Amino acid sequence: MASQSNKTQSVYDFTVKDAKGNDIDLSIYKGKVLIIVNVASQCGLANSNYTDMTDLYRKYKDQGLEILAFPCNQFGGQEPGSIEDIQQMVCTRFKAEYPIFDKVDVNGDNAAPLYKFLKLSKGGFFGDGIKWNFSKFLIDKEGNVVDRYSPTTAPASMDKDIKKLLGVA
């Protein structure tokens, strides 16, 4: 599903699968500020998180923000559909214009290597595991994990941190 070298230095060292099963080398995002988030369309946090993320993306995409959304069904079975169904719902209902990647596990033995790296880089308040849907990681232009935000942190509240990394007033 995803691969990494033995000397992982940044998120750019990973390859992940897009919604169509194609390999995507995350180095294509070099020079961009990233939000990497595990999503679930049937979660109670979906409406507010997707709405805020869509607003942030529209506001900052031209300045270099990208949002990478990874559907995950590990929390309450709240992302049970096929990747095609998920993508259609997210793009239609939530007007998401940012990339939706293939489903991943974020915890456990089958956790995606990218998520293992993210968790090692920025453990959460309650430890290294992802606790719920919509855990958000903020990545700088060099691919370093700068911050981690809880599922209940509104993406809109990340605005100041995003602007700082983008270098916009």
Please tell me whether the overall predicted TM-score, pTM, comes out greater than 0.85 for this model: yes
pLDDT given at position 3: 47
Does 91 participate in catalysis according to the annotation? no
- pLDDT at position 1 is 44
Q: Report d(CA 97, CA 67) in Å as an integer.
A: 9
Residue 4, pLDDT score = 45
DSSP the chain: --B--TT--SGGG-EEEBTTS-EEEGGGGTTSEEEEEEE-TTSTTHHHHHHHHHHHHHHHGGGTEEEEEEE---STT---S-HHHHHHHHHHHS---S-BB---B-SSTTB-HHHHHHHHHS-BTTBSS--STT-EEEE-TTS-EEEEE-TTS-GGGGHHHHHHHHT--
DSSP class of residue 10 equals S
Quick check: helix, strand or coil at residue 115?
helix
What integer pLDDT is reported at residue 7 of this predicted model? 61
Out of 19, 37, 43, 46, pick the active-site residue.
Answer: 43
Q: Which domains does the chain have, with CATH numbers?
A: 11-166 (3.40.30.10)
The stretches in the chain having pLDDT less than 70 are 1-8, 123-127, 169
